[in-house]
Structure 1
Amino acid sequence: MNRPELDYYAVLDMPRTATKEQLSLAYRRLAVRLCPHRDRRYEQDFVPLAQEGKLTHLSPMGEAKQWAYINMAFDVLGNELYRAIYDRYGEAGLFEGVILPNGYFPPYQYHGDHMRVYEQVFSSYSPYANVIDAVTNPPSLYATREHGIGVRHKDASTERIIHLSLEEVRTGCVKLMHVWRQEIVDAKESRLEKRKHTLKLIIQPGTTAGTRYCFKEEGDRYPTTIPGDIIFIVADKPHPQFERRNMHDLVYRYNISICQALTGFIFYVHTLDKRQLKIVITDVVQPGYQKILPLEGLPKCRNLDAVAALKPAKKKFDEFGDLIIEFNYIFPKYLTPGMKAMTREFFGEFRKSELELEREEKKQMQ
């Protein structure tokens, strides 16, 4: 990575051995000071006055940036799975995703809703948390002649799979997703009509399978509910030549004869970005042999939306996976007696030459 990794424990001013309860208390002590909606009259209920002048390593930053840092840090460390990934693989593994024994852990993405983290922690602790939530996020109400007055609840999310070709993953692309949804078409909110709606999906180069793109409240519109989210989940489309491995590596399989395996050969690979690579094999291609071309795989996709202050915008994708070439042996389907005799004679002479070479090497060593 182009910058030092962020130490989330240092952000909360706690050691790595801290328990979840200790991390929660550390977050509370900082949050009651930094919450932009806090009522300063009540700060003394949570932070002793003797600590009012206490400085931390975040103190030189503005309160808005400190507020963003502590919420992201607790969103990770307050979740047992996220914390385990961060402790073992660091921030890079957290943002890029890792392969776990029980499956693939997709890249972590901070939702950016600081008050959501605050409310989860203070819902049963802060005497003014509910007031803050009501002011900053008031409940949505409906008032219709048919249904009366009530609180609008959010509909369930709709998930859809979007298959991407490896060419689209390699270069990135823009997808226009057309969805049909119910919409209110009159001022009295009494008549619904199904209409076509287009969502713009920006695919970054190197996007991994399992990445989720959420369009908030883009679902059906009904008078008494809040529209649900529409979520697109990325999946790889099968490719005739390449296969993705370890998120960013590409595997290419090439068929060879026994003669080629022993004597060497040259072939060409047409890449996803329409280049042609000349591959020269001079080694004996034994079972399990692989030819690895560094930086010829897929770009390594970065998490660009974790916290705006932490990641530079419009980052170039300058890191790539590898191209791994594997070989399949093609044996003849049938040999005549004459062909078998020629093969035995050839390998007999071949073995004699091997023994002579071994004897010469032993003499030179002596």
Structure 2
Amino acid sequence: MNRPELDYYAVLDQPRGASKEQITLAYRRLAIRLCPHRDKKDEHDFVPLAQEGRLTHLSPMGELKQWAYINMAYDVLGNDLYRAIYDRFGEAGLFEGVMLPNGYFPPYQYHGDHMKVYEKVFASYSPYANVIDAIANPPSLYATRQNGIGVRTKDASTERIMQLSLEEVRTGCVKLMHVWRQEIVNAKESRLEKRKHTLKLNIAPGTTAGTRFCFKEEGDRYPATIPGDIIFIAADKPHPDFERRNHHDLVYRYDIDLSQALTGFMFFICTLDKRELKVVITDVVYPGYTKVIPLEGLPKCRNMDATTAIREANKKIEQFGDLIIEFNYIFPKYLTPRMKGLTRDFFQEFRKMELELEEEEGKHMK
């Protein structure tokens, strides 16, 4: 269907060779005046377009109609691909789709959400958000004889690895971390001195590796900057007996010989909270066999806000991971001829008994 095409450049009152920055500035100039959500009491702050001598062919239209056109125009011209297709193939090619060297460009369709375009350009619902923020939350300033007056910038954060033993993770603990930082030691803020500072960390039971503990603005203190954050990152300290798996499970490895693997055995495990755990194995321990003891792993740590954490500080933890026991097979390094003969006789007799047992089970099945 033939219809007159809309000139998006004319809508924004820009030449076809205008840069992307010029297109954006033109949209901003028009959007501030035409946005229907602008407070009407601020209208006196803007000079009407007619008085600026910047009338366009849209000027006779109502403001809502102009508002719709400028958003659609910027949605096209503000996108490099849409603009390239519009420049070459016109509005028809844009709406009908065209075949490009790298594939087919599907038909463009304006989404119709004018405020979506507006907020994309201004990065806010209001074009004055940065001014409002500066008034409501004024920036931190410095005034020194050496550097004069300026806005403080925040120093980079300092990250440190904090090794936690599995015993500390199991029961929870309090860690006192000592840091050395530069501090201002006189009223004129002209002399700095390195001083020791202690930070207190409350380690909740079950804290997982990678948990970050942030102390806001506890870094070095300089006259012209805001102190950076000090961040401690939890990491598991290697344990001689246990290994953490899946955040809350514990893995324990136990060495056995072939006799134990076939006949069963019993052993004790000293847990992280100093209990003696008796483990009895009556199964045949085949390769890949594991013994899982429920609720003998690490506590399951929950993310809680400050109020909930205080309310449940003395509450008993009831959710735990599992203890997974894996077995390592210890084979003899050397067998004498007599030992080999006895082993061979044993397995021959063993196989014979297996066949007899299978026959008896077959008779009972019949």
In the superposition, the TM-score normalised over structure 1's length comes to: 0.65
After superposition, give the CA deviation of every residue in 1:128-181 in whole Å (9 maximum; x if it has no partner): 532442244220000011110000000000000000000000000100000000
Q: Which structure 2 residues correspond to residues 340-359 of structure 1 after superposition, within 5 A?
A: 340-359=340-359
Q: How many Å apart are 1:308 and its aligned residue?
A: 5.0
Counterpart pick for 1:45 among 37, 41, 46: 37
Q: How many Å apart are 1:340 and its aligned residue?
A: 0.3
Residue 146 (structure 2) aligns with:
146
2: CA distance between counterparts of 1:318 and 1:120? 48
Q: Which structure 2 residues correspond to residues 153-192 of structure 1 after superposition, within 5 A?
A: 153-192=153-192
Q: Which structure 2 residues correspond to residues 229-248 of structure 1 after superposition, within 5 A?
A: 229-248=229-248
Structure 2 residue runs of 5 or longer lacking an equivalent are: 1-35, 40-118
Q: How many Å apart are 1:127 and its aligned residue?
A: 3.9
2:317 maps to amino acid? F
1:45 maps to amino acid? H
2:270 maps to amino acid? H
Q: Which structure 2 residues correspond to residues 197-212 of structure 1 after superposition, within 5 A?
A: 197-212=197-212
1: CA distance between counterparts of 2:153 and 2:257? 65
Q: How many Å apart are 1:318 and its aligned residue?
A: 1.6
Q: Which structure 2 residues correspond to residues 278-357 of structure 1 after superposition, within 5 A?
A: 278-305=278-305, 313-314=312-313, 316-357=316-357
Q: Which structure 2 residues correspond to residues 254-273 of structure 1 after superposition, within 5 A?
A: 254-273=254-273
Q: How many Å apart are 1:182 and its aligned residue?
A: 0.3
1: CA distance between counterparts of 2:133 and 2:156? 22
Q: Does the C-alpha gap of structure 1 residues 250 and 355 become closer, same or farther in structure 2, counting only changes over 3 Å?
A: same
2: CA distance between counterparts of 1:280 and 1:166? 25
Contact kept? 1:304, 1:311, Cα under 8 Å = no
Contact kept? 1:296, 1:320, Cα under 8 Å = yes
* Larger gyration radius, structure 1 or structure 2: 2
2:358 maps to amino acid? E
Segment drifting more, 252-261 vs 137-146: 137-146
Name the count of aligned residue pairs.
251
RMSD: 2.4
2: CA distance between counterparts of 1:46 and 1:312? 46
After superposition, give the CA deviation of every residue in 1:238-257 in whole Å (9 maximum; x if it has no partner): 00000000000000000001
Residue 112 (structure 1) aligns with:
none
For residue 45 of structure 1, give the secondary structure of its aligned residue in structure 2. Answer: coil
Q: Does the C-alpha gap of structure 1 residues 202 and 290 become closer, same or farther in structure 2, counting only changes over 3 Å?
A: same
- The structure, 1 or 2, with the larger RCO (C-alpha pairs under 8 Å, 6+ apart) is 1
For residue 345 of structure 2, give the secondary structure of its aligned residue in structure 1. Answer: helix
Q: Identity, % of aligned pairs? A: 77
For residue 134 of structure 1, give the secondary structure of its aligned residue in structure 2. Answer: helix
In the superposition, the TM-score normalised over structure 2's length comes to: 0.65
2: CA distance between counterparts of 1:262 and 1:351? 14
